[in-house]
Amino acid sequence: MTNWIQSHSALSLIACLVGLVLAAANVLGLVWPRAVRTALLAFPRSRVPAWLLTAVDLSWVAWIILHAQLGRFEWIKPYIYGAAPVAFFLIVIFMDELLAPRVLGGFLLLLANPVINAARWHESELRLIMIALAYLWAVAGMVLVLSPYYFRRVAEWATRSDDRCRILGLVRIMIGLALIGLGLWVY
């Protein structure tokens, strides 16, 4: 396993990971479409996913700030250790309205950066698939951060019936498998 990881590019690992998560998550839509529908419609007001995603987003942003070259703002770095937990509690207390889609949008915005960085200098023209995917995530992230109610609209449309849930799940599984294929044999 270690040799496989060392012999593949960062873009290959990212494509395989994204494809695996996408395919695995959508198997649930094929097997239990009613449970997926219930979960997706409850997600915007769910506290546990909102709090977990908030913690992930804030930790990631704190890590970025701590490792960035801030120039004349280097003095801020020691305060990040205390500011991140305070920000977490302020966000979950005062921004709890539709927090889960908002922090999902923040996660998508953060996730786009490593994908684009990994694809930037890759020699294959098929790297543009991952770049396009990252830009789609960024746009979706901006929409969710600014207008989180769109999550519910899309979720209602995508899960209107068991058949639609299964078909869309199957399409996403095929996309996930294609990304795994790109990761294994192209990148």
Asked if residues 158 and 164 have their Cβ atoms less than 8 Å apart, the reply is yes
Residue-level pLDDT at 118 = 94
Phi, psi torsion values for 160, nearest 5 degrees: -60, -35
In a domain, 61, yes or no: no
Query: What whole-number distance in Å separates Cα of residue 109 and Cα of residue 11?
Result: 18
- Residue 92 counted as domain residue: no
Residue 29 lies in a domain: yes
Determine the pLDDT at residue 73: 93
Total number of domains in the chain: 1
pLDDT beneath 50, residues of the chain: none
